[in-house]
Amino acid sequence: MTEIERMLKETLTRLEQDFSVKLTSQGKTLEEQQRALTEHSQGLRQLQGENSRLNADLQNLTQRLEGLAGLYGSLETLLQRLNELLSGK
pLDDT digits (tens, 9 = 90+) for 47-74: 999 999 999 999 999 999 999 999 999 9
Q: Distances from the Cα of 3 to the Cαs of 13, 15, 16, 17, 67, in angstroms? A: 15, 18, 20, 21, 94
Instruction: Write down the mean pLDDT value for the chain.
Output: 95
* pTM passes above 0.75: no
Phi, psi of 87 (to 5 degrees): -85, 0
CA distance 9 to 3: 10
Q: Report residue 89's pLDDT band, with 50, 70 and 90 as the boundaries.
A: low
DSSP letter assigned to residue 88: T
Q: Which H/E stretch holds residue 26?
A: helix 3-86
